[in-house]
Chains A and B, each alone.
Chain A
Amino acid sequence: MKLTTFLATSALAAMLASPAFAQQISIKAGVLNDRSGLYADLSGEGSVIAARMAVEDFKAADKGIKVEIVSADHQNKPDVGSTIARQWYDQDGVDLILDVPTSSVALAVSQITKEKNKIMINSGAGTSDLTGKACTPNTIHWTYDTYALAQGTGGAMVKAGGDTWFFLTADYAFGHALERDATAVITKAGGKVLGSVKTPFPGTDFSSFLLQAQASKAKVIGLANAGGDTINSIKQAGEFGITQGGQKLAGLLTFITDVHALGLQAAQGLVLTEAFYWDKNEQTRAWSQRFAKLNGGKMPSMVQAGVYAGLLHYLKAVEATKSKDTATVVAKMKEMPTDDALFGKGSIEVNGRVLHDMYLYEVKKPSESKGPWDYYKLISTLPGKDAFQPLAESGCALVKK
């Protein structure tokens, strides 16, 4: 209902405000993400809200651009995701797809997007293959990837003195990639990896693995896992007195929603890398408060912020080129520097990788927190060009041209 009203008003506003009505460009953006499973909290309906806010903030209607937003649940299943993507492109006239968490679905949608020559601005997926060996001219990867997370958490921790590591790695490709990337960064920075253990995915009891990590005497225990696995391992690390014993926990893929689920009592002291935190500065706070009002009081995750920023940048490119032709718009997006309230200034590489700053945060103690969602304190900032994979190493075929 809300959507229709919104559409009606924006269309009406467009008619009233735009003298160049005849040249109006209409765009259909599809937010394709997980609305019922593991990633529903960090993407889900929140990403749709973020996309609507982008349209609103861009004042699309005043500029003769009519934007319609549709959304669907891919249930983390590649076949469901790819059916929806195909149908959107072929039948429903969708011009670009946003968000798409879960690597397997993102890779599938990326292929279809290329085949149909449309645009995907990915925010939710972590695999660096999207801009690496599986890169396409049609995919922009906005928020984060395994490489940047490993770089942020691994590199910065070693600099801060955490030079010996032990990994708890979720036994699937994503976990392996995180461990591999982090290991490379740690060794390069002069640290040492003492060992690692592959944990079945998904798992519930990590105490056995945590004891192995404890026995290794490593200064940092790296959690190369995600979602429920991360939550369980952090909860149980607290229980087994691992953090009290002086070892630090580093989450390689931990979102603010995970910290919220853990509570500060259990999560305190955890070190993690994020691309966005709502309480970073005046602008992010103002935006996030607006967002929270629409999202039942829940603050935005970096994935949701990335959907906002990505769509905003796309709309700017459409405005600049007065076109929605894929090649023209993508070229413009890559040429224009990115600049928005949430991620600040940045740029887009030829392989579609967006460069922006990444931040290393530590989770506050309960006594330091002023209220709900006041969770992080900043340890260090990693400039975009150091955080993300250098073009030459990405293995993307677009780079050689």
Chain B
Amino acid sequence: MTDLASTEAAAGTALAETDDGTARLHRNLFVAIAALLVIAPFVAYPVFVMKVLCFALFALAFNLLLGYGGLLSFGHAAYFGMASYVSAYTAKNWGLTPELAILLGTAVAALLGTVFGALAIRRQGIYFAMITLALAQMVFFFSLQAPRFTGGEDGIQAVPRGKLFGLVSLADDRALYWLVAAIFMGGLLLIYRIIHSPFGQVCKAIRDNEPRAISLGYRANRYKLMVFVLSAALAGLAGATKAIVFQLASLTDVYWTMSGEVVLMTLVGGLGTVFGPIVGAAVIVAMQNYLATFGAWVTVIQGVIFVACVLLFREGIVGVIARAIRKPL
């Protein structure tokens, strides 16, 4: 994992955690993001922005695990997809209000993350990636096999957006947008908090040198599991929200290519940077949307971006910017 760490160190994060200038910069960035969120639905198409936000949160959650826990999961679609099924199912069949459906979806993802995480963190590197992939494939198999719950390949369709707290109707895109924006902002702030908490520092120490962290008395596996569960839960939050936005949950969300997509988003945006995954998700989702008319070229273009990122900008877009301004982002 040393190289991933060194990439991030090059981006400068490890250096200046307590630097006042950095803290101020980050505060300003948060204000800027909040401002963008307020303006966005008036400038861009709200449903599109909501999609970007859901995937951005998903990528942020994934990045928490890879960038700060040093663990590459190749099966994050499992938590994303399972949560979206749970939230779609409960909103549609149990008539839960959207916030409860989303919370329940997140809780199930956290639970799933606890079980899978406990199994997976016992291994490292490529083995860890393979175990998470294998476990995610089982979730996919389950989703395919349980049509009563998941609707098979038709998915769960026509999920009602419902009324927030039973009061505010979310049928209007703008109304729903504010909820999604709030969830996203909450998720982002939480992740930022986690990274800069003592807990986050220990995670980074473990990522950089596990034996050393253990010798200092930290129970590495417990920290790893914690960060894994947090990441799974946040991925679930993103998936559950997406189900309400699009009013559907489908097999696409649990398929292994979804796990690959989130890796791509994080890589493009900048591994181990706080804000990178947001940029990465925006770029990839925009590509899917606006290149939709190019047909099969979409895959080719995605592939080229993947290759270019690995060869030329391993730090990702935000990583490059961070290096240029010599401040961690």
Contacts and interface: CB of A to CB of B under 8 A. Distances in A.
A44 B292 CA distance: 12
In this complex, the member of B47, B154, B296, B299 whose beta carbon has the largest number of chain A beta carbons within 10 angstroms is B154
A91 B43 CA distance: 12
Contact of B296 (A36, A103, A104, A201): A36
A360 interface: no
Secondary structure dominating the interface of A: helix
Given A35-B296, A44-B295, A83 B152 contact: no
In this complex, the member of B250, B252, B292 whose beta carbon has the largest number of chain A beta carbons within 10 angstroms is B292
Nearest to B46: A90
Contacts of A176: 147, 152
Interface string B22-44: 00000000000000000000000
Contact of A83 (B145, B289, B299): B289
A165 B153 CA distance: 26
A173 B289 contact: no
Contact of A73 (B144, B248, B293): B293
B298 interface: yes
Contact of A79 (B45, B51, B296): B51
A107 B154 contact: yes
Contact of A80 (B151, B173, B288): B288
A111 B248 CA distance: 10
B158 interface: yes
A58 to B, nearest CB: 24
A71 B293 contact: yes
B252 A79 contact: yes
Nearest to A84: B292
Interface in B38-72: 45, 47-48, 51
Interface of B: 45, 47-48, 51, 144-145, 147, 151-155, 157-158, 173, 242, 246-248, 250-253, 288-289, 292-299
Given A104-B155, A107-B154, A73 B250 contact: no
A44 B295 CA distance: 8
A82 interface: yes
Contacts of A76: 252
A104 B154 contact: yes
Interface string A59-91: 000000000001111111111101110110011
Contacts of B298: 36, 73, 75
Given A36-B295, A82-B248, A107-B157, 15 more contacts: A35-B296, A44-B295, A75-B298, A79-B246, A80-B292, A82-B246, A82-B247, A104-B157, A104-B248, A127-B154, A172-B153, A173-B152, A173-B153, A174-B154, A176-B152
Contact of B144 (A71, A82, A103, A172): A172
Contact of B288 (A75, A86, A108): A75
Contacts of A70: 293
Contacts of A279: none
A40 B289 contact: no
21 contacts: A35-B296, A36-B298, A45-B295, A73-B294, A73-B295, A73-B298, A74-B292, A75-B288, A76-B252, A78-B250, A80-B289, A80-B292, A83-B48, A84-B292, A87-B45, A103-B153, A104-B251, A107-B157, A172-B144, A172-B152, A173-B153
A92 to B, nearest CB: 10
Contact of A72 (B145, B251, B292): B292
A374 interface: no
Nearest to B285: A83
Contacts, number: 104
Nearest to A105: B250
A111 B294 contact: no
A111 B247 CA distance: 9
Interface in A215-229: none
Contact of B250 (A75, A79, A83, A84): A79
Contacts of B48: 83, 87
Contacts of A319: none
User: 6 tightest A-B contacts by CB?
Assistant: A173-B152, A35-B295, A36-B296, A72-B292, A78-B250, A77-B252
A73 B144 CA distance: 24
Contact of B299 (A36, A79, A84, A171): A36
Contacts of B151: 173
Contacts of A174: 152-154
A134 B158 contact: yes
A129 B154 contact: yes
A25 B145 CA distance: 49
A201 B246 contact: no
Nearest to B253: A79
Interface in A86-101: 86-87, 90-91
Contacts of B51: 79, 83
Nearest to A79: B246
Contacts of B247: 82, 108, 111
Contacts of B292: 72-75, 80, 84
